[in-house]
Amino acid sequence: MPSSLVRRVVDGLREVFQSGRSRPLQYRKQQHRALHRLITERQADIEQALKQDLNRNTYNTSLFELISIENDIKLVESNMADWAAPRPVKKNLNSALDDPLVGAIAAGNAAVLKPSELSEHSARLMKELLPLYLDKEMYQVVTGGVLETQELLRQRFDHIFYTGSSTVGKLVMEAAARHLTPVTLELGGKSPCYVDKNCDIAVACRRITWGKFANCGQTCIAPDYILCEPSIQDRIVEEIQKTLLEFYQKDPKSSPDYCRIINTRHFDRVLALMNKCTIALGGESDRSQCYIAPTVLKDVLPHFKIMQEEIFGPLLPIVTVNGLSEAIHFINAREKPLALYVFSSDKTVFFSLPVAPLALGVLFELASPVWLSTSGYL
């Protein structure tokens, strides 16, 4: 998309917002209902696009995407009148997720959406469908890669919401600073799991396995690595192996429930992280299909490459520590993660570990336009 067109998109949104079109609550409810029709009437198209992008099956598309959006819309619509009043907003499990487009519509914002160019089928479908359901003068989709993103960042926004990597998050914040634009960043990180020896290890490993390998590890709050005492490392590997067999059968590559890495560039990046690591489970790969098997790595040392960056893929390193104090020191010595997972039967363990700040979004006030990005990597 030419840079001049990107500017026209943003300028057009500002103009239509200033006309006052989105001020009536009835208008916002109409747009929410239209968004709800989109995800219900075009569910098959959405499932197909994510199948092409990630080999995602229909169950997980509903679980990870559609159900949460649908619940968010229902919750926001039923509370919109109260929320629009000048009082603090209450939150529950659904609203805490802060779907940015649903929130932007509820607050009467105009919005630009920039989907990741990596998920090309999903981005193309979003570009095609949103104008068919929502007010296309108030809600616009800009597709493209680095050049289009750079042009968007040159524009003056009232709020920017970005989900993705820390590297790009720094560029977003730097660009926003030129206009003193408020920014909400939901960035990834190396989210640790501490597995205490005094816990139900089978239950802990089942939960870690689901969280780690769902969407082939490509979620921002996926468990990045395990911290545990050496005495339980082999038991953890054993329990994860049992769970993987239950989830994906003997051959995850042929499982309808196992996704793929988004493209070959990130396939190569993830595969390179296994350098020097001891493979306890998995390790198989097929570049032609962007397939990397669910993989567990044992006896990983802190200086290994895999411990230097967010994995964002189906590799699960295990780092051994001598108890809780060493685990706390290990976590505190590194950048703050997006999430922290603790498994223990001792309640005092939960109060001893550092609490990582969890980026859940922002309450939007009336402003225009808002840029909503779900771009993972540039």
In this structure, are 103 and 204 located in the same domain? no
Q: Coil, strand, or helix at residue 79?
A: helix
Per the domain annotation, does 157 fall within a domain?
yes
Give the pLDDT of residue 89: 57
Residue 18 near residue 137 (C-beta atoms within 8 A): no
Domain extent for 116: 3-182+362-373
Looking at the structure, tell me whether residues 368 and 327 fall in a common domain: no
**Residue 270 sits in the same domain as residue 302:** yes
Residues 257 and 170 in one domain: no
Clarify whether residues 156 and 280 are in a common domain.
no
Return the closest-CA partner of residue 151 out of 255, 3, 254, 286: 3
Domain for residue 357, yes or no?
no
Inter-residue contact 149 to 375 (CB < 8 Å):
yes
Q: Taking the CB of residue 360, how many other CB atoms lie within 10 A of it?
A: 12
The structural domain count of the chain equals: 2
Query: How much is the pLDDT for 14?
Result: 85
Whether 264 and 306 map to the same domain: the answer is yes
Query: Residue 170: pLDDT band by 50, 70, 90 thresholds?
Result: very high
pLDDT digits (tens, 9 = 90+) for 323-359: 999 999 899 888 888 889 999 988 888 777 664 333 2
Any domain includes 314: yes
Q: Percentage of residues in the chain with pLDDT exceeding 70? A: 89
Cα diameter, the chain: 66
- Tens digit of pLDDT for each residue in 184-226? 988 888 999 999 999 999 999 999 999 999 999 999 889 999 9
Q: Which band of pLDDT confidence, cut at 50, 70 and 90, is reported for residue 175?
A: very high
Give the Cα separation of 305 and 320 in Å (integer).
16
pLDDT of res. 50: 93
Least confident of 70-79, 95-104, 160-169, 275-284: 95-104
Q: 81-109 pLDDT, tens per residue? A: 888 877 665 666 555 556 789 989 998 99
Same domain for 143 and 273 = no
| Residues 86 and 112: beta-carbon distance below 8 Å | no
3-class DSSP assignment, residue 34: helix
- List, in order, residues 6 or more apart from 18 with CB less than 8 Å away: 368
Token couple for 158? 């009232």
Q: Which of 60, 71, 66 minimizes the C-alpha distance to 93?
A: 71
Q: Say which DSSP state 161 is in.
A: E
Phi and psi, residue 160, nearest 5°: -120, 130
Judgement on whether residues 166 and 232 belong to the same structural domain of the protein: no
Which residues lie across from 159 on neighbouring strands? 370
Cβ contact 294:279 at 8 Å: no
Core vs surface per residue 233-255: b (16+ CB within 10 A) or e: beebbebbbebbeebbeeebeeb
Q: What is the pLDDT of residue 87?
A: 63
In a domain, 378, yes or no: no
Statement to judge: residues 135 and 209 lie in one domain: no
Q: Are residues 166 and 278 in the same domain?
A: no
Assessment of whether the complete model's pTM goes beyond 0.85: no
Query: 13 in a domain, yes or no?
Result: yes
SS3 116: coil
> Same domain for 141 and 223?
no
DSSP lists the bridge partners of residue 113 as 141, 372
Alpha helices (runs of H) in the chain, residue ranges in sequence order: 3-18, 25-41, 43-54, 58-61, 67-84, 100-106, 120-133, 146-154, 166-177, 201-213, 233-248, 264-272, 324-332, 347-352
Percentage of the chain beyond pLDDT 90 is 70
pLDDT value of residue 96? 58
Does the pLDDT value for residue 26 go beyond 50? yes
Is residue 229 annotated as part of the catalytic site, yes or no?
Answer: no
Q: Is residue 331 part of a domain?
A: yes
Residue burial 267-283, b: 16+ Cβ < 10 Å; e: rest: bebbbebbeebeebbbb
β-sheet bridge partners, residue 193: 226, 341
pLDDT at 366: 34
pLDDT of amino acid 337? 86
> Are both 105 and 222 inside the same structural domain?
no
Q: Contacts for 92-101 with beta carbons within 8 Å, 24 or more apart? A: 94/68, 96/360, 97/68, 97/72, 97/360, 97/361, 98/360, 98/361, 98/362, 99/68, 99/69, 99/72, 100/161, 100/184, 100/361, 100/370, 100/372, 101/35, 101/139, 101/372
Q: 221-240: per-residue pLDDT in tens?
A: 899 999 999 999 999 999 99
Residue 51: what pLDDT? 94
Q: Which residue has the tokens 């993660």?
A: 337
Residue 128 domain-assigned? yes
**In CATH, what number is assigned to the domain containing residue 275?**
3.40.309.10
In a domain, 59, yes or no: yes
Q: Residue 358: what pLDDT?
A: 32
Q: How confident is the model at residue 375 (pLDDT cuts 50, 70, 90)?
A: very low
Catalytic residue among 117, 148, 151, 186: 186
- CATH code, domain carrying 177: 3.40.605.10
Cα distance between residue 261 and residue 217, in whole Å = 9
